[in-house]
Structure 1
């Protein structure tokens, strides 16, 4: 049963949002390494006691921003996938749509993208609380791959990954179990797709492809299509990237 928020609780939630907004503004200016409750207090005009009560240490503030970034980017992908699935789009079209959504979020939130996908922040170790939010992106990708598998949209690989299974139980659980042959290594291939997606975004957000290709949005679509071939999924190209 949901318990209505008291005025005190609602006030704390509102104050936390104000503090995090101020912290995100500082994240753009000084980066994660220069962020601290003291900086947020000084630059925002908030009372030291208010900031310290909710975020007493730098890591508390960073964790809140990390969770928000993962949740924000994951939610953007989930909304897009729900719309594509409701429109009965193919798995390949769904994949293209959700990766475009993550790309759009990344360019709209470069500082937050850098926080979760850039260089590690010295001295910061993400706590267990960040795992579930961080899992939203691979969960969307895994759901699309699962739908492609169940819908007969995947082409069997020319060769399976050699050797024993390479997966941790959590990855198998997230996907919903290990498929049988000839798709027994589809989860490993899905992780390759996921890592290719994040690496591609790092290249584009940090301007590593702007001097190599004429149309970065079109190149993004092309790269996703190439990466999807590794799992046997055809991605339709030629549609507007928006």
Structure 2
């Protein structure tokens, strides 16, 4: 078999395995996930499946990396569409925050895999999953920095001191200090609010309380922007 065809076949089989894993998680949760169960669904032998993922941990890691990258790619795509439409940085940020939620609503299994309950016995390899996880924050951080540099967001807005222990963490793990650390800190405040609301919605805790989750989320994001001195149209 020509090498190019073999590579395409391997990729298609790998994707089928991951799709089946997501289907099993949707039906039975992470407790129902096993390589043997996936092999049965795909009518493969377990040894054949091990060729693609030597262990369940390897498969889970691949699913987590795919989820983080997919989330980041979707948010970046929507942000870039706002750029192409001539939107300013403030509106780009707003679009990105809306996209963060929309991806979670469209991909609830992936969202719950990376942000939900830990999987018993599984420890994510930080050297593999951390870069994928950070790719999402990079979209927001680069847009915020560009907004400050362009004068759309006034740097004096970011004036509250960062708790020393938190600032030390930013310095050690992200190499951030001064104004960049302040911007990153404010971004984390916004992310905490945004992520918390999305998580409540995904687990069906928000709708019974607020009814219209679309309107509730948008108003909350606009209010958070206002607190940061960012006024939207």
TM-score using structure 2 length: 0.88
Partner of 1:48: 46
CA distance in 1, matches of 2:113, 2:44: 24
Partner of 2:160: 160
Contact 1:67 1:133 in 2 (8 A): yes
Partner of 1:239: none
Indicate the RMSD between aligned Cα atoms, in angstroms: 2.2
SS at match of 1:185: helix
Partner of 1:15: 13
More helix by share: 2
SS at match of 2:214: helix
Deviation at 1:218, TM superposition (A): 1.2
Deviation at 1:102, TM superposition (A): 2.0
The gaps in structure 2 that reach 5 residues or longer are none
Contact 1:22 1:40 in 2 (8 A): yes
CA distance in 1, matches of 2:65, 2:98: 21
The gaps in structure 1 that reach 5 residues or longer are 237-242
Check 1:184–1:48 CA distance in 2 against 1; reply closer, same or farther (3 A cut). Answer: closer
Deviation at 1:235, TM superposition (A): 3.5
Map Cα deviations across residues 55-81 of structure 1 (whole Å, 9 max, x no partner): 121111111111111111111111111
TM-score using structure 1 length: 0.85
CA distance in 2, matches of 1:178, 1:12: 45
SS at match of 2:104: helix
Pick the aligned partner of 2:199 from 189, 202, 209: 202
The equivalences for 1:154-233 within 5 A come to 154-155=153-154, 156-157=156-157, 159-164=159-164, 165-166=167-168, 167-172=170-175, 178=177, 180=179, 185-233=182-230
The equivalences for 1:62-77 within 5 A come to 62-77=60-75
Check 1:41–1:27 CA distance in 2 against 1; reply closer, same or farther (3 A cut). Answer: same
CA distance in 2, matches of 1:179, 1:168: 10
